[in-house]
Every structure is written in C-alpha cells, then in structure tokens.
Amino acid sequence: MDRRDFVRTTTATIGGLSFVGQPRIARAQPSGRDPIRVGLIGCGGRGTGAAVQALSTDQDVQLVAMGDAFADNVENSYRALTEFEDVDLTPRINVPPEHRYSGFDAYERVIPHADVIILATPPGFRPMHFEAAVNAGKHVFMEKPVATDSPGVRRVLESAAKAKADGLNVVVGLQRHYQTIYREWVDRLHAGMIGDITLGRVYWNSGGVWVRDRQPGQTEMEYQMRNWYYFNWLCGDHIVEQHIHNIDVANWVLGGPPARAQGQGGREVRDGLEHGEIFDHHFVEFTYDSGATVLSQCRHMPECMNRVSEAFRGSNGSAPEPGRIMSASGHTLFEYDDAEDPNPYQVEHDELFAAVAGGRFKYTDGENGAIATMTSILGRMATYSGRVVEWDEAMASDLDLMPAHYAWDAPPPVLPDANGRYAIPVPGYTRVL
C-alpha cells in the first residue's frame, strides 16, 4: 500500500476514538451470566495499574491469570492488587498460584484462561503478545507503544486487521482519546474553529525515569529486561515510549501521519553506563501532506523546564494548550473546565468492558496505536541518522531490533563493551533503515 492509500484508509481511525459502532457479536464473548475473565500479561507498575482499572469498572469482571517474565513481578503485583487500599478488589481476584506464570512463555499460558487480555510488558514484546491474543480470539487492552521497530509495527497492523475482521475489541493506552478535554478540544479544531492547521508544537520534557542497578549474577539479558527503558529493542527510546502521547495528538488533529521527518538529538546529561543506548533529548520537525509542520520536543534532563502538552496554530487562530482555543485577535473562543474531567485511564477500561459485557464490537484502536508508534519511530530514525526520513521508507524498513532467541542466557541484540558502555547512535553514521 502506498502512502496516499494508507493515509486515506487510516484517516477515520486516527480521527478520534476507533469507534466502529457495528452490530452486536456473539463470537469471543463471555456468557451474560458469567464474569468477564481478565488475564494480565506484564505485572510491573503499569500492568498493575491497568488491572486496578479493569477491576474497578461497573461490569462483572474477574482477574483469573497473571504472567510476567519475572516471578517476583507477578507476586508483587498480586500482593499490590489484593492489598489495594482505595477499594477492596479481592472479590474480583481469583488467581491461584498455579495461574501465576513466569518466564518468556508466560503469555502463552495466561491467554487461554481469559476473555480480555491486558498487555503491559515492555513494548518490544507487544507485537508477539498481541498477535497471540488475537489469534486466540481475545479482546485486548494494550499499553502504548505497540512496537519498537518497523517490522513490529507491520505485525501489529496485521493483527489489528484480523481483530477487526473477527469482531474483537482493541483499546490502546493512548488515553487522551478517552479524555473529555481532548475530545472536546479536537472536535472543535476539526470543525475549523481556528481554520486550517499550519503549525503544531508537542512536548514531553521531564527529568527522566527510574534506573535499576546491575545485580551480582545477572545475565546481560536479565539486566536489560530489568532496565528495559534504556534499550531500544525493549523501549524504543523515550521519544517512542513517552512522547508518543503528544505525537499521537498531532496525528489526531491533522488527520493522519506525517510525510517525513528530520531532526536532531543526543546525550548531554543522562550519559552514564546505566543509561544504556538511548538519547536524553530529541527535537524533530514533522511535515504533513497538508503542508503543516509539527515541532516535537522530548527531553530527559533534571532541573530543566518541564512541559508535557500540545499546541496548534491555524489560519484564523490558535489552540495554545489542551482545552483552550483563541481567535487571531486574542479572544477566547473555547475554554474547557477540566474540574469535572473524568480519569481517562479509567474511562478507557470502562468503555472497553462495557462493550465486551454488552456483546458489542466498538473499538479498533490497534491500527491507530500502530500509526502513532510508527510516527514516533520515524522521529527516532530522523534524530539517530541526522537525515530526512520519508514515511514510506521508514514503514518499509526491515531493520529488526528484536533478539533471535528468548532465554535468560541468550545474548540480547546489543552488548556493552569491555568498559560496560553501550554504543550510542551517531548521526550521519547510524543505520536506521
């Protein structure tokens, strides 16, 4: 599929909620008398949080199986769920020890138990896990991003198409699509309140995230898995793992992915051995078919200006922040009162489980998640290479970041040198396609 056809067929998906509104389906639905069985794959902090939200919906939901590469993650997550202080979740938890799985194959053992699968492992595993869940006829909630390289994105797109054909609901954790302030804001931008969008500015500037020290006796595979944020095969770099939220909003507002990107980045502050191979800052200029330009910033630097937001300018006005729209002369045209804005992390689960409980096929977020992920990867390709990268060549890339074999004693795709340092991308030299 060439770029023009791709953009035309995906515009409706990117345009907001992947909301298909098709008739009720019988396939892959639990009985109306039985609880919706949930399986959790990926038991870290985000997976545990997603499980809390799934168990906090108004539907009859029961967590029945859990899996993670690490056994301690499974047990820590189980303990956190059963001891959750805000509300007693224990009546909705039925995960005996024999249904708590660990190892690289844990996902295969969780899937048969459940009707809905939560995927919250490091992103590099998402294409494989999503494919397995869809092939088994399961509804899916999966966290973003949905891949770390182009082959992974294409694999997710194939599985998303199958999920859609089979009537399986898929929700992706790009929760701004489920947040009222964004829905109201973007609807007005699409209605032309500021005219044609000519410029966007999107940000994820923060101080960075956790680091986990190397432990005695760890294999290199275990070390990288424990510190997955700092290795591209697992994380995709923070432009993909975090900044995807803001880049996704740009695609949403502009109705499709960019045609090309160029940019720059590097490591200035977070440059220790413990920071793996990723950059600590990226600046990307995305160019869209309409001629609009989106300027993208993301940064992991403590003690600097922090900003996580989006802004747009049009021919007749501006949208300086989510929920605000101004005329060209500076008058307020729209301002959303976010005091009543419900928690979008909860809303995405509320809507998914309501659809499953009602036997309705409504959500096909897999495609939009793949497009947002690919746009973020395009930005990474531009900053790592220092060249202009076209969408078509990025999407067609066969550069596969994943390991050939998954085992604790298997070599991961990147290895440290004798001094414990990992090779850092060098613009002008690093291969990205």
Summarised one tens digit per residue, pLDDT across range 352-402 is 999 999 999 999 999 999 999 999 999 999 999 999 999 999 999 999 999
pLDDT digits (tens, 9 = 90+) for 218-228: 999 999 999 99
The answer to whether 264 and 383 are in contact (CB under 8 A) is: yes
| Separation of alpha carbons 14 and 289, rounded Å | 15
Mean local confidence (pLDDT), 89-99 = 98
**Taking a C-beta distance cutoff of 8 angstroms, is the pair 170, 118 a contact?**
no
- Give residues with Cβ within 8 angstroms of 26, minimum separation 6: 359
CA angle 149, 263, 308 (to 5 degrees): 80
What per-residue string of b and e applies to 41-80 under the rule 16 or more CB within 10 Å gives b? bbbbeebbbbbbbbbbbebebbbbbbbbbbeebbbbbbeb
Kind and range of the H or E element at 117? strand 116-119
pLDDT of residue 56 exceeding 60: yes
User: Three-class SS of residue 211?
Assistant: coil
| Residue pLDDT, tens place only, 135-158 | 999 999 999 999 999 999 999 999
For the stretch 129-139, pLDDT in tens is 999 999 999 99
| 174-194 average pLDDT score | 97
Cβ pair 235, 125 in contact under 8 A: no
pLDDT for the residue numbered 28: 46
Phi-psi label, residue 284: left if phi above 0, alpha if psi -120 to 50, beta otherwise: beta
Instruction: Output the pLDDT for position 2.
Output: 61
Q: Let me know: does 356 contact 116? Beta carbons within 8 Å.
A: yes
pLDDT greater than 90 at residue 165: yes
The rounded mean pLDDT for the chain is 94
Q: Is the pLDDT of residue 14 over 70?
A: no
Which pLDDT value is given to residue 340? Answer: 77
Tokens standing for residue 229: 């944020």
pLDDT of 10 > 70? The answer is: no
Residue 3: pLDDT over 70: no
Percent of the chain with pLDDT over 90: 91
The Cα–Cα gap between 318 and 239 comes to 25
Would you list the domain boundaries of the chain? 3-177+344-366, 180-339+374-396
Q: Is 226 helix (H, G, I), strand (E, B) or coil?
A: helix
Single-letter residue type at 90: T
Rounded CA-CA distance 184/345 in Å is: 17
Closest among 207, 205, 192 to 325, alpha carbons compared: 192
CA 365 to chain centre: 11
Domain 3-177+344-366 has CATH 3.40.50.720: yes
CATH superfamily of 180-339+374-396: Dihydrodipicolinate Reductase; domain 2 (3.30.360.10)
pLDDT score recorded for residue 12: 57
Query: What is the structure's pLDDT at 24?
Result: 47
Nearest by Cα to 77 from 125, 111, 118: 118
What confidence tens digit (pLDDT) does each residue in 232-272 have? Answer: 999 999 999 999 999 999 999 999 999 999 999 999 999 99
What is the rounded distance in angstroms from the CA atom of residue 415 to the CA atom of residue 421? 8
Angle at 146 between CA 351 and CA 256, to 5 degrees: 80
Percent of the chain scoring above 70 in pLDDT: 92
Residue 33 and residue 60 in contact, taking contact as beta carbons nearer than 8 Å: no
pLDDT, one tens digit per residue, over 110-128 is 999 999 999 999 999 999 9
Residues 366-388 as b/e (b if ≥16 CB within 10 A, e otherwise) read: bbbbbbbbbbbbbbbbbbbbbee
* Single-letter residue type at 414: V
Mean pLDDT for 275-304 is 98
Q: How far apart are CA 127 and CA 135, in angstroms?
A: 12
**pLDDT on residue 8:** 59
Residue 103 has pLDDT above 50, yes or no: yes
Flag whether pLDDT at 178 surpasses 90.
yes
Query: Mean per-residue pLDDT for 331-344?
Result: 90
